[in-house]
Every structure is written in C-alpha cells, then in structure tokens.
Chain A
Amino acid sequence: MKSLLSEIKKGKALVSDGAWGTFLHKRGLQPGECPELWNLTHREDVFAIAKSYIDAGADMILTNSFGGHPLKLAHYDLNERTIELNKAAAAISREAAGDDHFVLGSMGPSGVMLMMGEVSEQELFDGFAIQAEALKNGGVDAICVETMSAVDEASIAVKAAKEATGLEVVCTFTFEKKMGDHYRTMMGVTPLEMATAIKDAGADIIGANCGNGFEQMIEIVRDIRSFDNSTPVLIHANAGLPIYKDGQTVFPETPEMMAARINDILKCGANIIGGCCGTTPEHIQAIAKEIKK
C-alpha cells in the first residue's frame, strides 16, 4: 500500500496536479453540463487531462469527481449513478498514473448547508461515504476533501472517507484574505479552526486550495505553521484571480511566476504543491522542475 505520509516523512516535497474544471471546459465541457458524466461520455478527454499532469512531472493526480456527492449529482438527475461515476473517475486517473504515482480521489462540497436545515448530518455523511467507497473501488490511494468552507461539512466528509475506506485523507479549505490581513473562509473559519476540527475528524494532511493566487498561499502556509509544525500541508493554488476581458476569462499567473515562489512556500513548511483553477500542465511542469532541483 502506498502512503503519502511515509513519502513525506522521507523529507521530500511532492508535486500534485493542476486544474481539472477549467481544463475540461477548454476541451469542450459546456457550462451547465455535468463534469462527472464526462468520465463515461468523454473518457479520452478526462484521461488526457490526467495523463498530461503525470507527463508534466506530478507525483500525484486527483480524479474528475469534485462534484460527485449524490446531492450535487442530483442537480443533473444523476444521483442514482453516484457509484458508477465516481468509480469511473478513479479508474481513469489510476490508468493514467500507473502504479508508481499516487491517485487522490477528489471530493468537493455537497452544495447544501447543514445550518440551513437543508440536509441532515446523516444524509451528508452517507453521501460522502458512498462517494469515497466508490473512489476506493476505482483504485485511488487516498481521498482529498477539498474547497471546503464550513467546519461541520468538512468534518463529516473526512469522517465518512476514513470510515468507508480506511485510506489516508487530505482535507483543504478555501480561504480569502479579510480585513486586517486575516484569512477566513466564507463561513468565517480561520486556518486554526480548520486544522483543529479536521485533524480531530481524522485528516492526515491539511491545507488550502483555490483562493486568490500563490502569494496568498504562502501567507496561509505561514499561518498554519505558526500553530502546527507537524501535520503535512498540501497547497493547490489558483493561477491568480481570473480577469474577464474581451469575452475571455484569463488567469494572470504564469508558470514562471509560480515557479519563482516555490522556494518560499517550501521554506514556510508546505509539503505538497499543486495547482487549482487556471493552472495547466505547463504550470505543474515548472513547479516540478523547481521542486526536484
């Protein structure tokens, strides 16, 4: 059994993959289409994305299952196919990664809020457990709960993943810089509150994804390291905040810009570096080159 934790213990920094969503759209996914359905209808496209990150030098790739919680799939009347779609997502990434790279099963938010009474804790838990188990059966090495903003939902997702799979679980939140240079999620959660809650729920690796670019990720890692010196930290950074111009959405941070800051984020104590929205295989290649120097 491969273990992210034992790889990290060897003292190496690892490289993760880049964007999936924005990449799928580039390959023709239309707004309003279910990205996870592409695991069946456009298998080659999804495989090509996964493979491009392996070829770029990533040590691990994620899966095309971010919106694979049954409550999210229900928007497309696909909740009955939760197991099939998640399993297919895992199998595609497994095939692209081969046996010597890691595959992390992606699980994003369910899209419903516990505090609004839209859903029960049990329903949320069961959905994540079904998703995680399907990802495991499709061949993932670990689960990555990502883009979380609420402590309650993230804790439930981590617990469900642990209980259903027994695999290593990564959990990352999305933080924004608020007034006074403090970072919080849209639900008001600080990095400290995140770490406390999700480690308690059983997360092995913590961190941040999405957000407003690499510079802010360095500050978030510094924040986490100010209270936690031991838990491995994973970062999936956006290529900056998108700019809308002439009918096109452009991400401002180039591969070179990201590569130039790798040393700083490693010095601050990050263990796994990859990209989120707007990052490409070129970004990952530049990051990998820097990390493996």
Chain B
Amino acid sequence: MDELIQKISVCVERGKINKTSPFPGDMKGQDGADELTKQALDASIGPDEILLACNDGMHKIGERFGRNEVFVPELLMAAKAMNAVMAHLKPFFKAGVVKPKGKFILGTVAGDLHDIGKNLVSMVVEGNGWQVIDLGVDVKSIKFIEKIKENPDSIVGLSALLTTTMANMAKTIQEIKSEFPSIKIIVGGAPLSMKAAEEMGADGYASNPQGAVEFLNQMSLCA
C-alpha cells in the first residue's frame, strides 16, 4: 500500500502520465499516474492519502523548478500526470470526502493575452491541494470582483507578461482592494519584481509557481 502511494508521488514528480506515455524515457512501459491511482483506489487506499501523494510529487517538482534544476517542459508533464490522478479523485471532491486547502482566484490582467505563466501557476497550485478558479486572460477588474463576491474566502492571483500591462495590474489591485480591503493579492510575471509588487500594493510576489504555493500556504495559516 505504501509502495503504491510512493509510486504515485514519483509519477507526478517525474511526469509519468500513463503506461503508454513515452516520457520520461527511463520509465517507458511502466504503470503511470493513471494506472497506479486506479490500483490504489481498488486497494481501498483513501482518496485523501492519494491526494497527499499527488501534492508531495507536485511540491517536489515545483521546488526543483524554483531551483532551476528543471524547466517548463518538466513542470508541464508533472501537471499532466497530476491531472491523470485528479481525474480519478474528482468524484471524491464532489462528494466532499476530500477538501481543498482553500480557494485561489487566478487570471491574467486586462489587456494581456499571455497564459503560459498563469497556467503553470494554476497547475502547480492545484497540484498542491488548492481549488483554483481560473478566469483566463484579459480579465477586467469587475470580473475578479464578481468572483470574489461569490467566494469571499479566496486569495487572488494576478499575472502579466507585457511591460505595458503592469499599469493595468496596479489598477486592478486598487479596484479590488477598494471593494475588499482585506483580500490578499499575489502577483507574478516576467516584468515584475518584489519592488514593483510592493509599489502596486500587492500583498505578495512570486517569481515561480512554487513561490505562489508558499505564499498561499502562509496566508492560510494566518487566517
């Protein structure tokens, strides 16, 4: 039983989706996240335990990404493997057997259509046990505000790639904060820095997805 859990965690970390997926090369022909999760559920291993294994694998790859040991392709494959696990766990989430750590509302700010960075954050945060409400790209303040109204206990993440949309990010923060002064907002994206985030009035900045997870975990402890 422990061995299965261990294997699921490794599959997520290494991005091994299922038996037929060719990546990574050294795990060719072996069972992947998909088969192992099914076996674990058949062996009556609790979905919460499987989720923890998934979180563990995602946490490890997120840390390695933060240390520049692996890059976007490895992180994307890990996220795909995680999705294979999650597909089996969905019914348990729906039934309330397993619960997310919290809610994270995420989007690329108005005027910016870039979604690669935002999607990476979305996948890693979800893989670490959070419910992600992804509003997509070119998201106006009003859309964030509407979602926060529906989910007042959430934390908000804003992404931007263009240097020209940083001003929109600052505006979005102001408009959200004027409606919900206590809501926590974290920002990220290529043109940003901790200094720029502070200047805009954000509560946090992360240069990589794992940094966002750490911010969220910290915030949920404070709450």
Contact = CB atoms under 8 A, between A and B. Distances in A.
Nearest to B140: A32
A243 B68 contact: no
B72 A186 contact: yes
A247 B170 contact: yes
Interface string A226-267: 000000000000000111111111000000000000000000
A184 B164 contact: no
Nearest to A72: B113
B39 to A, nearest CB: 25
Interface residues of A, number: 30
B142 interface: no
Secondary structure at the B interface, as helix, strand, loop or mixed, is: helix
A25 B170 contact: no
A113 B119 CA distance: 12
A37 interface: no
Contacts of A187: 71-73
Nearest to B170: A247
A12 interface: no
B110 A31 contact: yes
B111 A31 contact: yes
Interface in B165-203: 165-168, 170, 191-193, 195-196, 199-200
Interface in A94-129: 111, 113, 115-116
A277 interface: yes
B27 interface: no
Interface string A255-293: 000000000000000000000011000000000000000
Nearest to B116: A113
B192 A244 contact: yes
B122 to A, nearest CB: 13
Given A115-B76, A244-B191, A244-B200, A31 B68 contact: no
A249 B163 contact: yes
Interface string B103-127: 0000000111110100000000000
A21 interface: yes
A113 B182 CA distance: 37
Contacts of B110: 31-32
Contacts of A41: none
Interface string A177-198: 0110000111110000000000
Contacts of A242: 163, 166, 191
Contacts of B80: 116
A246 B170 CA distance: 10
Contact of B113 (A75, A179, A247, A278): A75
Interface of B: 67-68, 70-74, 76-77, 80, 110-114, 116, 138, 162-168, 170, 191-193, 195-196, 199-200
Given A32-B112, A243-B193, A249-B163, 20 more contacts: A21-B164, A31-B112, A32-B110, A32-B138, A113-B76, A115-B76, A116-B76, A179-B67, A186-B71, A187-B71, A187-B72, A188-B73, A242-B191, A243-B195, A243-B196, A244-B166, A244-B170, A244-B199, A249-B191, A278-B163
Interface of A: 21-22, 25, 30-32, 75, 111, 113, 115-116, 149, 178-179, 184-188, 241-249, 277-278
